[in-house]
Amino acid sequence: MLLEAPEKVVEADIPEPRETGASVIQVTGTGICGTDWKIFTGGIPVTYPLVMGHEIVGELVEGTSRDGAKPGAKVLIDPVLTCGECFHCRHGQSHLCPVGELMGRERNGGFAQFVAVRPENVYALPDGIDLTAAPMMQVLTTCLHASEMARIEPGETVVITGLGVTGQMHIQLAKAAGAGTVIGVSRNPPKRDLALKLGADLAVNHGEEADEAVLSATDGRGADVIIESAGALSVLGEAMDLARIGGRIVPFGIYTANQAELPFYQLYFKELQILNARAAQARHFPASIELVANGKLDITSLLSHRVPFRQLDEAMGLLTRPGLDRMKVVLTYDD
């Protein structure tokens, strides 16, 4: 499916320009996320026509994977293409490569039946993985990267604000990292219930409820770590209130505003550490696959809608429909 202009997708076969040595993958599922929505509506400028989609899972048809898989293997794609030569690529920060490209944004992506990509961006999936939910493993790599940045120590109290797909992953990652009390914060009761099912010790509403839960879990100190996954600046302000003196905050939601009211004095007085995390590194792919394969991370519970890929328009509509209990929307290709 080709995006020809903002909010205009057409069905078209695209002759895929391929680098020599590229592997070919027949796509079985692609997740839709906020970045795709911003590209779709023109919020993120791109060159048209474009095949969107960067959370891609499929079957290897031609070529191999980073780990030597053969055609027929089920694979997950790392959609970030880096130069391998710049300062960042040479210093273990390839995810920050200034000329790096994202499939589905600077290059054609996964809302198509086939994609071509270098073998080092392809990872074989073990048997037993839920293939429909599997595109979310790309999302998981970014959460894992951020969770590592938080340096969660065993026994610490961790608060996750915002309980969408990434918030629910952060709940599970915090537990897997050995956190003591994990508290999920959301306005949405079904999302709070899901967080409890996925391992949160408490799930509460924003505001007073969150204040009370955090204070009583920490002898009045405040949380050691807050991972802000709602992407709202007002919630980032709430995170600064909930953190203890000397606490850490990971602003995981992506904020595009240039101005906001935040409790800046608390930043100083509490000596808060703000730890940003962008995208993920290659090493987070095998680590994420392992977390899902060994049952430490449930992604299947985060899938709410499967939509045939030709109905991309409707799938995009699901992202903003008010009142809808939506988690991850995945495009499927088996119709």
Interface with Zn ion (CB under 5 A): 33, 35, 82-83, 86, 89, 97
Between 46 and 86, whose beta carbon lies closer to Zn ion? 86
Between 199 and 251, whose beta carbon lies closer to Zn ion? 251
CB of 53 to Zn ion, least distance (A): 9
CB of 30 to Zn ion, least distance (A): 10
| Cβ partners under 8 Å of residue 258, min gap 6 | none
| Cβ partners under 8 Å of residue 259, min gap 6 | none
Structure tokens at 321: 């429909």
Between 89 and 236, whose beta carbon lies closer to Zn ion? 89
Between 33 and 75, whose beta carbon lies closer to Zn ion? 33
Q: CA-CA distance, 70 to 64, in Å (whole number)?
A: 6
Q: CA-CA distance, 152 to 150, in Å (whole number)?
A: 6
- Residue ranges with strand state E in 205-242: 223-228
Between 54 and 206, whose beta carbon lies closer to Zn ion? 54
CA distances from 256 to 44, 201, 233, 235, 325 (A): 11, 32, 9, 14, 25
CB of 40 to Zn ion, least distance (A): 13
Between 35 and 181, whose beta carbon lies closer to Zn ion? 35
CB of 93 to Zn ion, least distance (A): 9
- State the DSSP code for 50: B
CB of 39 to Zn ion, least distance (A): 10
CB of 166 to Zn ion, least distance (A): 9
Instruction: Work out the number of other CB atoms within 10 angstroms of the CB of residue 59.
Output: 16
Question: Are 303 and 315 spatial neighbours (Cβ–Cβ below 8 Å)?
Answer: no
Q: CA-CA distance, 169 to 296, in Å (whole number)?
A: 10
CB of 20 to Zn ion, least distance (A): 20
Between 157 and 168, whose beta carbon lies closer to Zn ion? 168
Q: CA-CA distance, 170 to 146, in Å (whole number)?
A: 9
Q: Helix axis angle, 208-217 relative to 233-242, nearest 10°?
A: 30
